[in-house]
Amino acid sequence: MRMTVIGTGRVGAVHAVCMADLGHTVLGVDIDPEKATALAAGRPFFHEPGLAALLRRTVASGRLRFTASLAEAVQFADTHFLCVPTPQRRDSGAADLSHFRAAADSVMSYARACGRDEVLLVGKSTVPVGTAERLVARLGPAADVASNPEFLREGHAIQDTLRPERVVAGVRTPHAEARLREIYAPMARAGTPLIVTDTATAELVKLASNAFLATKISFINAMAEICDATGADVLTLAGGMAADSRIGPGFLVPGLGFGGSCLAKDIRALATHGEELGLGESVAFLRQVDAINTRQRLRVVRLAERMVGGSFAGRNVGILGAAFKPRSDDVRDSPALAVAEAIRQRGAQVRVHDPEAVDNARAAHPDLQFALEVTKACEQADVVLHLTEWAQYRGLDPGALAAVVRVPAVVDARHTLDAALWRAAGWTLRAPGRPRLGRPAV
């Protein structure tokens, strides 16, 4: 099937490449000609494992092209996936739909100009409940609007697109349902459930899923605070809870909390929309989920501050991690960088290492210092903070690293370092929710 993907960021580029890999003929559209040119040459402008190779293969196959012309896109196909940003508005927690509406308006304007009387707009962007219906009222009867939310994890986006746990299709017409069934037929044949529903439910599935995942993370971090106050161990606690099949281990992971462009934005948007609907009491807990998550950053700063004697002034601090999660170079709302910046503002000399995100982190935080090697980031450090759980940090030799720091002290804010190994190498290791690590080994 012929289709376009409008917006080729982290969601759109992956969707375009994967749809072409499934055998569809795809035209990716980006208003930035440089991005469109780079993708057409097989060069993704962000890091996502597996994307570069798949991009080159699908472009070479002839099934995938890129353009900066929306007029060309409307002439190319009548099915258009909208993958444009819907960030949080600056004046509230609500989603900013200006890019989403502008893309839809432009498609319909070009469609009318070239005589297309049937257009299917498929929203993959995360939007408030009711957006599809409001878009139909805005655009008129020639526009059919469907909701097909994405459930991608950065660092695993190719796998999550080609072998998803489910595909949700919110439709208003039999035509839209038939079109989406045809597009996702290869996945359905492979056993992926296709959940067909109305557009409002599909829109809410994405928001509710992210809100639930965020709640699990904040819940276990709230328990970590109780562990610090009582002497309990949060990792053992999480394991004991996860053994219950009704709870499970997914996202029950204590640490620095969530960041990135989705979870915090989506729970704020859902809370704001609920309040607008007069359901403030029902969504009030989302405000607390958000507050607990944000508080973890300050807790880690204070823990590190205690380890350097109560003041960062004149101290050297090594930071391991800049991306908001491993296997990505995305630094949007990165907890690691928020902690690094807070420590810098308290008077420390801060050096940050990340395997992939240094360039993006430097652009976002030019006042921080960055290092391309772990040893350079930790050189003469009074404390090292492990803030993004890259696999290569778990494999560090703590004995070798002890030789370059001033004081062998580390905060494991992601709970993935081998505490016994690091302590045996002479390190003082602290971790939120594990107060007994501060006591001598028995």
Nearest to 356 by CA among 155, 158, 57, 151: 155
One of 18, 83, 262, 378 is an active-site residue; which one? 262
How far separated are the first and last CA of the chain, in Å rounded? Answer: 65
18 catalytic residue (yes or no): no
Residues in the chain: 442
Q: How far apart are CA 277 and CA 270, in angstroms?
A: 11
Measure the CA–CA gap between 191 and 163, rounded to whole angstroms.
Answer: 9
CA distance 155 to 151: 12
The answer to whether 34 and 67 have CB atoms below 8 angstroms apart is no
What's the token pair of residue 161? 């697109």
DSSP annotation of 89 reads: P
Quick check: 159 and 133 in contact, CB under 8 A?
A: no
Given a contact cutoff of 8 angstroms between Cβ atoms, the answer to whether 166 and 193 are in contact is yes
Pairing of strands 25-29, 64-67: parallel
Catalytically active residues, by annotation: 262
